[in-house]
Amino acid sequence: MRKIVRKAARDVFSFDARAFTSGDWTFTFDDMTEFPAQSIRARGLYGFGPLVTSLGGQPEALLAACGISMNVLSDPESTLPISAMADLLELAANRLERPDFSLLLGREQGIAVLGLVAMIALNSATVGEALEGIARHLPYHSSGAKLSLVEHPDDGLSGIRYSLNLDPGTPRRQLMELTYMVAYRFLCMVIPGARENWRVHFRHERGLTVDGYARYFDCLVRMAQAHDELLFPTRLLAQRIDSNDAGLRQMAERFVGNEMRRFPLDIGRQVEVLVDRQLAAGGASIKLIAAQMGQHPRTLERRLQAQDLVFRDIVDRVRRTRASQYLSQSVIPLSQVAASLGYSSQTSLNRACLRWFGQTPNALRRQGTGGTAAPV
């Protein structure tokens, strides 16, 4: 458990979805660029179709406009990019002229939308234990997601903070309001009584009127805040959860933990990091990487394909990024650059640089640059 004392608040626990880090290199460079495929299980859209239909819309048209297959609505364990889900929610709200679309959806979903992670939470002994369980197992539901519980000692409050590493252009209001509606309903379920001193904070500007938010949250809602956060009295963390079953929680935790290790949602990111580490040793083959992940090569290929990824493209992108970094360091001989990228000869490096950057390695160095490492 990580505790960090801050000026205004204290982290009680915080779990990050990233499973690996870079850094096992003789030369120190910036980290690899973040892998773009941050996914969420399709169960995050539970109730989307019926809600859209009830509001006079066409689910198929909205999904197609965002490049999402209609099949995701019938396969809750499949995945889709979190950015696509954010676009879909925003599009639905706009086309249906329902700025409260995500709040409506979250009210219908409740904590059950988390599947087995919900079972872990509902069978915890206390509210605090439930939130810790959700935070630890959230990557099973959504890669790249992070849930933190932060204490505000001066106010006697604690806050749930949910965050995603979204691209700047990704719409976030509908996605965050959906998330906090689900969280709010869960806490209302396990903490009966009035919502005295509860507050919901959003970073975005107001999307509804004050009365509009009051229809969904029986507490104060503040906009344009420093953090997205759901606040409640810290003493409620010790609130017992009735009818919890420790055996069911342990069973769900074992299953989810095993699935997270075997079939991570951010499989592309894991493959990228393993390739990055193995290039210099000539180990960037799908057979070796699959073995390190405990999978058959064909299984790994299928799981990458499910996220529109191809193994050889990942290898090529890692090589391009590293080539750009190595070539900017003139003290590294080109023969060593080639070997570090897993090439058997400098000729292979020359051909690759011509394809990536339109110039040879020597030409790039004469210009004093290492090329452009933008994704292909």
Cα angle: 312, vertex 23, 132; to 5 degrees: 95
Tell me the C-alpha distance between 153 and 8, whole Å.
8
Query: Last residue of a domain, which of 259, 291, 307?
Result: 259
Q: H/E element holding 15?
A: strand 10-15
Rg of the chain over all Cα atoms, to the nearest angstrom: 23
Q: Are residue 35 and residue 85 in the same domain, yes or no?
A: yes
Q: Are residue 205 and residue 336 in the same domain, yes or no?
A: no
The per-residue pLDDT for 108 is: 95
Question: 3-state DSSP call for residue 222?
Answer: strand
How many domains does the chain divide into?
2
158: which strand partners?
151, 232
Range 187-207 burial, b when 16+ CB lie within 10 A, else e:
bbebbeeebeebbbbbeeeeb
Which of residues 83 and 106 earns the better pLDDT score? 106
Boundaries of domain holding 194: 4-259
Give me the helix-helix angle, 173-190 and 101-109, nearest 10°: 30
Confidence of residue 371 (pLDDT cuts 50, 70, 90): low
Q: What digits encode the pLDDT tens for the residues 284-321?
A: 889 988 877 667 899 889 888 877 789 999 999 999 99
Query: Last residue of a domain, which of 230, 259, 288?
Result: 259
Query: Last residue of a domain, which of 235, 259, 283?
Result: 259
Tell me the C-alpha distance between 231 and 216, whole Å.
16
Q: Are residue 221 and residue 291 in the same domain, yes or no?
A: no
The count of other CB atoms within 10 Å of the CB of residue 350 is: 17
Tell me the C-alpha distance between 85 and 69, whole Å.
12
Answer yes or no: is 323 within a domain. Answer: yes
Instruction: Count CA within 13 A, CB hemisphere, residue 164.
Output: 25
Q: What digits encode the pLDDT tens for the residues 230-261?
A: 999 999 999 999 878 999 999 999 988 887 77
Helices (H), the chain: 48-54, 59-65, 82-95, 101-109, 116-122, 127-137, 173-190, 210-214, 246-262, 267-278, 286-292, 297-305, 311-327, 334-340, 346-357, 361-366
Q: What digits encode the pLDDT tens for the residues 146-192?
A: 899 999 988 999 999 998 878 888 999 999 999 999 999 999 999 98
Q: Are residue 158 and residue 279 in the same domain, yes or no?
A: no
The per-residue pLDDT for 190 is: 95
